[in-house]
Structure 1
Amino acid sequence: MITAVLAGLVAGYGIAIPVGAVAAYLITLGAAHGFPTAAAGGLGAATVDALYALVAVVLGAALAPLIMTVATPLRWLSALVLVGVAVWMIMAGLRPDVDGGQPPDAPSPRRAFTTVFLITLVNPATVVYFAALVGGSTVGFDRVPEATAFVVAAGAASASWQLVLAGAGAGLSRVLTGQVARRWTGVVGALAVLTLAGWTLLAA
């Protein structure tokens, strides 16, 4: 059981820590809209990581070759979603603030959760990573308690890192105050997401 938990923690941090579209978007959310919104987005990413960990445990290494056969369409889909998110971030950042200090279409925590959930869901590297990890591991997950421990630990590890990113963005918001700063934060975050979309296409 302890081995399964440790394997899950390593898997969760291994997929969550590398810088990507989710990290850039969460930091931008935190800087522009505060910790609660960014934290909801982070939990969206962690939910997908936990779901993919579950799929990987159930299907194992047999899933990786199947995903690789559709890897190129998945990368194009991922890139299109990232471009859409980047365009929305730019448009939201350039709109004038309302009296409360937030742009009129500031994302709610629920929308942030859904958006980040979808961004993470269409990332083909996530499920391939978990499938390869479980398939090549010496840890046996044929028992339900061990498999459950692995999935829960992976999701918890991912969630803890996403919350760190949300907190970092929220901390940045204390330095970047005012309408102009929020606009530049959104634009810079959008450019980072566009860059990652281009990188995704080049990998296709």
Structure 2
Amino acid sequence: MTEALVAGLLAGYGIAIPVGAVATYLVALSARTSLRIGAAAALGVAAADGLYAMLAVLGGAALTDLLRPIAEPLRWASVLILVALAIRTAWSALRRFRAGQDPASTESPPRPGRAFVLLLGITVLNPTTVVYFSALVLGRSGATATGWSAVVFVLAAFLASASWQLVLATGGSLLGRILTGPRGRLATALASATLITGLAVNLALT
């Protein structure tokens, strides 16, 4: 049981800590809205990681083989969504700044539920996550894990991912409070949009 707990925590942090386009968008979203919305989005990312950890435990190599034919379309769908979000972020910030409004303000800020579903969907589109968890599960046990050890592994992976995503959301919220001026908010929005686009392009080329 302890082995499954440690393995799950390491797996969760291993997939969550590398900063990618989703993490960048999470920080930017938290900076532009509120910690409540950012936390909901963070839990959406963690839920996707937990879901893929569970699928890896249940399906293992069979699930990896099943996802392989659609991995490329899913990857491109993720790239297109991230680029679209980056463009929308930059365009909205510029439009509000030119209108004399605070770029952080939004006409209709996403509700926590919507933020959760959005980040869940973006993260689910990354099939490499389930391949990652499958490799760890099979490498640890030599076969698909079962019983309480599987439950502990999945919960530990989810909690590890959630804790890190919440750190990112909190950091984004603090950044939003520091950059209170319209120019600072605009710079943050444009920088995050540029970084998200760059990371999405890098994802497309890998």
- Fold-level similarity (TM above 0.5): yes
Q: Hey, what does 1:18 align to over in structure 2? A: 18
Cα distance in 2 between the residues matched to 1:39 and 1:86: 20
1:174 matched to 2:188? The reply is no
Cα distance in 2 between the residues matched to 1:84 and 1:126: 22
Work out the number of aligned pairs and report it. Answer: 202
**TM-score when normalising by structure 2:** 0.90
Q: Structure 1 197/120 Cα, relative in aligned 2: closer, same or farther at 3 Å?
A: same
Cα distance in 2 between the residues matched to 1:38 and 1:196: 20
Cα distance in 1 between the residues matched to 2:24 and 2:203: 15
Q: Hey, what does 1:71 align to over in structure 2? A: 71
Q: Hey, what does 1:6 align to over in structure 2? A: 6
My pick for the range that moved more, 126-135 or 172-181, is 172-181
Report deviation, 1:109: 1.7
Report deviation, 1:98: 6.5
Is the Cα–Cα contact under 8 Å of residues 50 and 152 in structure 1 kept in the other structure?
Answer: yes
Cα distance in 1 between the residues matched to 2:39 and 2:92: 19
Report deviation, 1:111: 2.0
Cα distance in 2 between the residues matched to 1:139 and 1:98: 58
Cα distance in 1 between the residues matched to 2:94 and 2:110: 14
1:80-104 CA distance string (max 9 Å, x none): 11112112212332342779x7221
Letter in 2 for 1:129: Y
Q: Hey, what does 2:200 align to over in structure 1? A: 197
Is the Cα–Cα contact under 8 Å of residues 61 and 136 in structure 1 kept in the other structure?
Answer: no
My pick for the range that moved more, 144-153 or 171-180, is 171-180
1:90 matched to 2:93? The reply is no
In structure 2, the residue corresponding to 1:136 is in which secondary structure?
A: helix
1:44-76 CA distance string (max 9 Å, x none): 000000000000000112322333333222221
Q: Hey, what does 2:46 align to over in structure 1? A: 46
Q: Structure 1 198/158 Cα, relative in aligned 2: closer, same or farther at 3 Å?
A: same
Is the Cα–Cα contact under 8 Å of residues 64 and 132 in structure 1 kept in the other structure?
Answer: no
Q: Hey, what does 1:55 align to over in structure 2? A: 55
Structure 2 gap ranges (5+): none
Structure 1 gap ranges (5+): none
Letter in 1 for 2:163: S
Report deviation, 1:135: 1.6
In structure 2, the residue corresponding to 1:14 is in which secondary structure?
A: helix
State the Cα RMSD in Å: 1.9
Cα distance in 1 between the residues matched to 2:75 and 2:20: 14
Is the Cα–Cα contact under 8 Å of residues 59 and 144 in structure 2 kept in the other structure?
Answer: no
Which residue of 102, 122, 125 maps to 1:122? 125
Cα distance in 2 between the residues matched to 1:144 and 1:98: 55
Q: Structure 1 187/144 Cα, relative in aligned 2: closer, same or farther at 3 Å?
A: same
Q: Hey, what does 1:145 align to over in structure 2? A: 148
Report deviation, 1:77: 1.2
